[in-house]
């Protein structure tokens, strides 16, 4: 229900975001701490590889935290026991192996209510990654996905405002 409410607010333009230079790592640590019980239950020990621990991105801190939480929830629900997050060159990339029979379509992964056949069995409304896309666009960034060698890679690219 929370996802549907947030999605409606994003679509209706009633969710103002105040973007600025934001520490990229702090909201990720908070999100990982929030998901600690689920990560532990799934046997996932996240691996973080940041070129710089003081990396900043153009974002709204709360929205960035929500992006991270949705991506972590997706990895726990649909991944296959691992999660790594890499940050380099102003981008943050989430990597997680896919479970057996999981074949998401990267072209449609961020579409509203999209779920692969195997994802439908695991529950969810199909809005989590759509919300990620909407929030990234509201922060003048982009999100993309690709599947390589049975691994889902979700790339967050942030606004170039950081260079101004």
**Long-range contact list for 6-10, CB < 8 A, 24+ apart?**
6/66, 6/131, 7/112, 7/127, 7/130, 7/131, 7/134, 10/131, 10/134, 10/135, 10/138
Q: Where are the domains of the chain?
A: 2-163
Query: Dihedral, CA atoms, 83, 137, 139, 78, nearest 10 degrees?
Result: -20
Q: pTM (2 decimals)? A: 0.83
Q: With respect to CATH, is domain 2-163 assigned 3.30.565.10?
A: yes
Instruction: DSSP letter for 112, please.
Output: T
d(CA 164, CA 162): 6
Give the residue from 10, 71, 6 showing the smallest Cα distance to 44: 71
The separation between the first and the last C-alpha atoms of the chain, rounded to the nearest angstrom, is 38
Task: Please give the pLDDT value at position 164.
Answer: 46
Q: Provide the 10 A C-beta neighbour count for residue 161.
A: 15
pLDDT in tens, the chain (164 residues): 464 445 455 555 656 789 999 999 999 999 999 999 999 999 999 999 998 889 999 999 999 999 999 999 989 988 888 999 999 888 999 999 987 777 777 777 877 655 544 444 444 446 789 889 989 999 999 999 999 988 999 999 999 876 54
């Amino acid at each position: 229900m929370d996802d549907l409410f947030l999605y409606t607010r994003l679509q209706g333009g009633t969710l103002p975001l105040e973007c600025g230079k934001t520490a990229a790592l702090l909201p990720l640590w908070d999100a990982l701490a929030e998901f600690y019980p689920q990560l532990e239950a799934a046997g996932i020990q996240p691996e973080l590889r940041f070129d710089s621990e003081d990396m900043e991105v153009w974002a709204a801190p709360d929205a960035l935290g929500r992006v991270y939480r949705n991506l972590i929830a997706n990895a726990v629900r649909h991944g296959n026991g691992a999660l790594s997050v890499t940050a380099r060159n102003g981008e943050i990339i989430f990597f997680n192996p896919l479970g057996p029979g999981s074949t998401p379509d990267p072209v449609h992964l961020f579409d509203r209510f999209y779920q692969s056949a195997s994802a439908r069995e695991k529950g969810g409304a199909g809005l989590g990654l759509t919300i990620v896309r909407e929030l990234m666009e509201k922060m003048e960034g982009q999100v993309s996905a690709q599947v390589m060698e049975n691994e889902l890679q979700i790339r967050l690219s942030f606004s170039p405002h950081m260079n101004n």
